[in-house]
Amino acid sequence: MLFGALFVQLNVIQVLRADSYNNNPNNTRAIVRDFSRPRGQIVTVDGTVVARSVPAEGRFERQREYPEGELFAGVTGHFSFIAGADGVERIYNDVLAGRTTETASDIGELLLGEPRTADVTLTIPIEVQRVARDALGATRGSVVALDPRDGSVLALWSFPSYDPSLLSSIDIEAAQEARDRLLADEAKPLLPASYRETFFPGSTFKVVTAAAGLTSGGVTADAPRYPSSSAYVPPLTTSPINNFGGGACGGALFSILEVSCNTAFAQMGVDIGPGALVSRAEAFGFNDVPPLDLPGVVPSPIAETSSFDQNTPVLAQTAIGQNAVRSTPLQMALVAAGVANGGQVMTPHVMAEVRNDGGEVIDTFDPKVWTRATSPEVAATLTEAMTGVVEGGTASRLAVPDVRTAGKTGTAQLGNGLSHAWIVGFAPADAPRVAVAVIVEAQPGASEQTGGRVAAPIAQAVLSAALDATAP
């Protein structure tokens, strides 16, 4: 009986719970095993080394270092004896350490010989990442840029960040002190908020609401024409939803998106119903974990359809990006990318290719569709509407010179005099190559102009840099 119990428990640990143990960030066994072994580099698509191992003296034969400091911390992660691995260092650990059959010339070398390491090439051009960092500056927030055609990540930045070299030091006491300081920091520099933290998306979510209305057939580019109003009172409440500044607005789809009309979109959400809104959000990827090849990616939640039964006030608030919906910056970038790519959301990825230490390409990322968000016809209508937001609405500062640009601003109120400033967009609108999402957290005041005033110039700089770095 005891041997039987032991056999069952071993299978539970080694089979049923293996993945959870292997992926636990507190599990450092793989790091202990690989810390002194040869290890490949992580390089940008344009050849800049962002992680490498160098010879060291003492207990360990090698030291992992990150020449660009904090710039790629949210992507490379760290390779630390005391903190384990994160980011690309964790997801592609076996490749970097030469522990896969693809990096060995034969099985004998894999089992007995010196491992052949491999280098991981990122999809991110270093200049685009630098522009994202510099444009956001010392303001808490995140920037995500994607190529909507194949899902390549072009920028992935959150401030604050940290220097991975501090955690990866072979001075274990110094590494532990650095980790303790970072964990104690209330600003959470170890958290790459771009894909691990969710926020109210505010009016950027109106792109999803518009897609739901268009897909349901209850909304077209010309109808309905919502009444000009400064307040909308949903059924089952006496509390109104107001427009920013108390102004009145209304009209057909293009007009209400251009000025980000709360009253109209709140009514749209109630009119089309929770089933249409939730199902369309899920078609864009909400309530699912985006398959980005980095650890710890979190889903962007929207409440279940049943939760809106007899709760039209919450449905109306959700339709304008508040209350029962939250999103990561990554997810909102995927919303923009889905519209830009004719309704198809491609699988996001940071790995472009893997080369063994002989320079041979042994793996490349195969672009594939993650989800079908809308029909091409709906995506085309949304593109025209979002182009109008840039050309004559709240997102004018997103416009890239001489490039037709599409976008949508957002302001998510936090209820304490602060609001998150958002923007999403893509360019060129006629043949998109770059989609972007920017959030600038906890800005004073609340105005629909906040996203256009604060977030749009950041996104415009990133769009411009990414367009220069990508081929038509």
Share the mean pLDDT of the chain. 91
Q: Tell me, what's the pLDDT at 165? A: 96
For the segment(s) 202-349+369-469, the CATH number from 3.30.479.30, 1.10.287.130, 3.40.710.10, 3.40.50.10860 is 3.40.710.10
Band of residue 5 on the pLDDT scale cut at 50, 70, 90: confident
Q: Tell me, what's the pLDDT at 471? A: 83
Chain center to CA of 23? 20
Distance CA 100, CA 109 (A): 11
Band of residue 21 on the pLDDT scale cut at 50, 70, 90: low
Distance CA 66, CA 56 (A): 15
Band of residue 39 on the pLDDT scale cut at 50, 70, 90: very high
Q: Is 203 a catalytic residue?
A: yes
> Is pLDDT larger for residue 164 or for residue 117?
164
Task: Assess contact for 115 and 104: CB atoms under 8 A.
Answer: yes
Say which amino acid occupies 132. Answer: A
Say which amino acid occupies 392. Answer: G
pLDDT at 446 exceeding the cut of 70:
no
Q: Tell me, what's the pLDDT at 245? A: 78
Return the SS3 of 170.
coil
Q: What are 349's strand-pairing partners?
A: 152
Task: Assess contact for 75 and 20: CB atoms under 8 A.
Answer: no
Q: Tell me, what's the pLDDT at 108? A: 47
pLDDT tens per residue across span 362-397: 999 999 999 999 999 999 999 999 999 999 999 999
Distance CA 43, CA 144 (A): 19
pLDDT tens per residue across span 46-75: 999 999 999 888 778 889 999 999 999 999
pLDDT tens per residue across span 232-270: 999 999 999 999 878 999 999 999 999 999 999 999 999
Return the SS3 of 117.
coil
Catalytic residue among 203, 255, 419, 464: 203
Chain center to CA of 453? 22
223-240 average pLDDT score? 95
Q: What is the DSSP string of 366-429?
A: ---EEEE-S-HHHHHHHHHHHHHHHHHSTTGGGPPTTS--EEEEEEEE-SSSEEEEEEEEEE-T
106-123 average pLDDT score? 70
Domain boundaries, the chain: 202-349+369-469
pLDDT at 11 exceeding the cut of 90:
no
Distance CA 49, CA 63 (A): 15
DSSP state of 347: P
